[in-house]
Amino acid sequence: MGTIVLNNVSKSFGDVVIIPGADLEIRDGEFIVFVGPSGCGKSTLLRLIAGLEDLSGGRIVIDGVDASDQPPSKRGLSMVFQSYALYPHMSVRNNIAFGLKMAGLPKPEIAAKVARAAATLNLTDYLDRKPRQLSGGQRQRVAIGRAIVRQPKAFLFDEPLSNLDAALRVNMRIEIMQLHQSLGATMIYVTHDQVEAMTMADRIVVLNKGNIEQLGSPLELYNRPDSLFVAGFIGSPKMNILENNTIGIRPEHLALSEKSGEWEGTVMLAEHLGSDTYLHVDAGRRGMLTVRASGEFPVGPGGKIWMTPEKGRIHRFDAQGRAIR
C-alpha cells in the first residue's frame, strides 16, 4: 500500500510563503512527477511529505494515517537525494544495510535483503567498495538500493538524475521505470526537466510558485494545458504564444508549405536534427515562430514559407492566462 493524500498543505519559511496550499491525492502504485522551474518549491513539497520539514498548515495522510506530526523515520518512506547523500565512511554493503540495521532486523535477513537489492541493481561486485570509489551512475544505484531494501510505502526522488551525463541519464531513467514496474510501488519523482516528466510519469503535477498549476497524465497536459504556464512548460520545442498571450500553437501543429497557407513568414534559422528540422520563422506582425518540419526541409534562411495551424490544435487563453475551452 502507498497512498498519500495532501490536504491543503502549506509551507512558509519565516514570512516567505513557499507553498500557499496544495491538495493532492497520490494513488497506490502510481508514478507521479512534480515538475516545475527551479525554485518553485518542488523539493520543499517533497521534503514536507518526507517529514524533513514541518508543515506550516494542512495535513498529510499516508495510507489513511495522519502523518503530519510523524518524524521521517515513522512514515515508512524512502528518499533518493539529488546529491545521493551516501554515507561516505561506509561500504556499499553497509550503506544499503544501514536502514535495516536501524530497524533492528536480524543479521542473516539483512544480508539476504542486501544481496537481493544488489543483484537487482548490478551492484554485487561493488559491495565492499566505498562510495568514493564508484562512478556517478553506480553511486546513484547505491542510493536507490538503499531506498528499496526497506520496502517503503513510497519512494521519493529529488532530481536523482541531474548529476549524471546525458547518456547515463537516459539509461537510468529506463532503469527507474523498470524498477517501478517490478516493485509496483508508489513513486514521487521531482524534476525540472519536462522531458523526464513526460516520459516517466503516470501523472504529472506542474508546480508554479508553489501552486499546483495542473495535475494530469502527460498527454492530458500536452493536449489540454489549463494555463499559459503549463502550455509553455510542457512540450519541446516550446509552444508558440501569439497575439498578446491569447493564442498558443505547438511547433509540430503547424503545417508547412512553400506555396500557400494561412500565415506567411521568412525563415531566419534552420536547426537540422536529421529526423526533424526546426525552423525559426519571422511571421511579421505575429512575431517569431518555431515550426517543426518532419525530416529535411528544403527552404533555408531567407526563404519564404507559409504555415497553417492544424484544426483543433489552437489553444486560447484569457487575460489571466487560463485556458478558454
Partner 1 sequence: MATQQTRALGRIAVAPSVIALFLWMIVPLAMTIWFSLLRYNLLDPNPACSPLTPWALTDPANRCLAGASNYYYFLTDPAFFRAIGNSLQLVGWVLAISVIGGILLALLLDQAIFGRNIVRLMIIAPFFVMPTVSALVWKNMMMHPVSGFLAWLFQLFGLQPIDWFAHAPMTAIVIMVAWQWLPFATLILLTALQSLDEEQKEAAEMDGAPPLSYFWHLVLPHLARPITVVILIETIFLLNVFAEIYVTGSGGRAGNMPFLVYQYGLISNDIGGASAGGIIAVILANIVAFFLMRMIGKNLEA
Partner 2 sequence: MARAVSTRRRMFFTAFAWAIAFVIFFPILWTILTSFKTEGDAIELPPKFLFFQWTLENYGIVQERSNYLLFAFNSVVLALGSTIFALLIAIPSAWAMAFAPGKRTKDLLMWMLSTKMMPPVGALIPIYLIFRDFHLLDTRGGIIAVLMLLNLPIIIWMLYTYFKEIPGEILEAARMDGASIGKELLYVLTPMAIPGIASTILLNVILAWNEAFWTLSLTTKDAAPLTQFIASYSSPEGLFWAKLSAASTMAIAPILVLGWFAQKQLVRGLTFGAVK
Ligand X SMILES: Nc1ncnc2c1ncn2[C@@H]1O[C@H](COP(=O)(O)OP(=O)(O)O)[C@@H](O)[C@H]1O
Binding site for Mg ion (CB under 5 A): 43
As a whole number of angstroms, the distance between CA 101 and CA 111 comes to 10
Q: Are strands 203-208 and 31-35 parallel, antiparallel or unpaired?
A: parallel
In the list partner 1, Mg ion, ligand X, none, the entry touching 39 (Cβ below 5 to 8 angstroms by class) is ligand X
In the list partner 2, partner 1, Mg ion, none, the entry touching 103 (Cβ below 5 to 8 angstroms by class) is partner 2
How many residues in the chain?
Answer: 325
Q: Name the residue nearer to ligand X (CB basis): 44 or 140.
A: 44
In the list Mg ion, partner 2, ligand X, none, the entry touching 77 (Cβ below 5 to 8 angstroms by class) is partner 2
CB of 46 to Mg ion, least distance (A): 8
Name which of residues 5 to 44 contact ligand X (CB under 6 A): 13, 18, 36, 38-44
In the list Mg ion, partner 1, partner 2, none, the entry touching 79 (Cβ below 5 to 8 angstroms by class) is partner 2
Q: Name the residue nearer to partner 1 (CB basis): 11 or 150.
A: 11
In the list ligand X, partner 2, Mg ion, none, the entry touching 40 (Cβ below 5 to 8 angstroms by class) is ligand X
Q: Name the residue nearer to Mg ion (CB basis): 38 or 320.
A: 38
Name which of residues 29 to 88 contact partner 1 (CB under 8 A): 51-54, 71
Residue 243 contacts partner 1 per CB under 8 A = no
| C-beta neighbour count of 53 within 10 angstroms | 18
| C-beta neighbour count of 45 within 10 angstroms | 26
In the list Mg ion, ligand X, partner 2, none, the entry touching 150 (Cβ below 5 to 8 angstroms by class) is partner 2
DSSP code at position 239: P
In the list Mg ion, partner 1, ligand X, none, the entry touching 160 (Cβ below 5 to 8 angstroms by class) is none
DSSP code at position 310: P
As a whole number of angstroms, the distance between CA 252 and CA 300 comes to 18
Cell numbers 510542457 label which residue? 234
Please state, in angstroms and as integers, the Cα–Cα distance from residue 186 to each residue in 49, 182, 313, following that order: 13, 12, 34
Whether residue 237 has a cis bond before it, omega within 30° of 0: yes
DSSP code at position 27: P
CB of 255 to partner 1, least distance (A): 53
Report the amino acid identity of residue 252: E
Q: How many CA atoms lie within 13 A of 174 on its CB side?
A: 5
As a whole number of angstroms, the distance between CA 200 and CA 274 comes to 25
CB of 168 to ligand X, least distance (A): 22
Q: Which residue is nearest to ligand X (CB)?
A: 43
CB of 54 to partner 1, least distance (A): 5
Q: Name the residue nearer to partner 1 (CB basis): 54 or 128.
A: 54
Q: Give backbone dihedrals phi and psi of 45, rounded to 5 degrees, phi first.
A: -65, -40
CA 170 to chain centre: 13
As a whole number of angstroms, the distance between CA 45 and CA 126 comes to 34
**Contact pattern from residue 134 through residue 173 relative to ligand X, giving x for each residue in contact according to CB under 6 A and a dash for the rest:** ----------------------------------------
- Residue ranges binding partner 1 (CB under 8 A): 51-54, 71
